[in-house]
Chains A and B, each alone.
Chain A
């Protein structure tokens, strides 16, 4: 299994555990009122983007038909960029969303916009690189 695939899959596993931890914490906001209600979308996106989507991406990079013998995974730099952008954007969201909920209209709002851009770029890079490998034999 290539290094890039291992990074995607292992990070997805870490996000899975992190998501469920956040899920438990956000369930406690009835008894612990200082826990932000904004953790609910954070929990859901850590699960669906960090775990499910990232795991699918990793398996796709591994399994899709080879682009060529010289470049089996097409442009691997794009996949690395997507990995960094996806996880960077997701973690930035996880931090800035609860803070923006508590103090709207400050720097946290712009960090949310930035995190949206990072994750969007990750999706774009992944789609561009995978598209070329999805071909009939």
Chain B
């Protein structure tokens, strides 16, 4: 597994644990109310699990297992760094804005970062999604 996938998948595992923790607190609050502020974690719970765990995990695994270019290259690694950086920045902005009920424009900023991350990832993965050209012996 390449180092970039290692970090991406590990990030996603951290988000899984964080998202499950928030979810468990809210579910417990629903059963036996103990701290009403727990409900403020709801937007973060959704953002962290959907984008932080599910989507980031898929991206990390895709970077690892999609067909490689000739010479074993996985394409432009810088663009993947940017993808993961923007995605995580977007997740934190959206989660904090949602949980602390901050100004709505910041939510748009966070979601814009996530959108640009999606664009970078699509461009990165697009070239690696291809039919493998099998060559017969003697052919180039």
Contacts and interface: CB of A to CB of B under 8 A. Distances in A.
A127 B17 CA distance: 7
Contact of A115 (B2, B27, B57): B27
A134 B9 contact: yes
Contact of B1 (A96, A113, A115, A136): A136
A110 B29 CA distance: 10
Interface size class of A (residues with CB under 8 A): 20 to 34
Given A63-B61, A116-B27, A116-B28, A137 B20 contact: no
A120 interface: yes
A116 B17 contact: no
A79 B32 CA distance: 29
A52 B6 CA distance: 21
Contacts, number: 81
Contact of A110 (B2, B14, B21, B32): B32
B52 interface: no
B31 A112 contact: yes
A23 interface: no
Contact of B30 (A52, A97, A127, A134): A97
A137 B1 CA distance: 6
B28 A124 contact: no
A62 B55 CA distance: 19
Q: What DSSP secondary structure best describes chain A's contact surface?
A: helix
Contacts of A97: 30
Given A65-B1, A135-B1, A136-B6, A120 B31 contact: no
A109 B31 contact: yes
A113 B10 contact: no
B13 A120 contact: no
Nearest to B9: A134
A7 interface: no
8 contacts: A93-B27, A96-B31, A109-B30, A109-B32, A116-B23, A116-B28, A131-B10, A137-B1
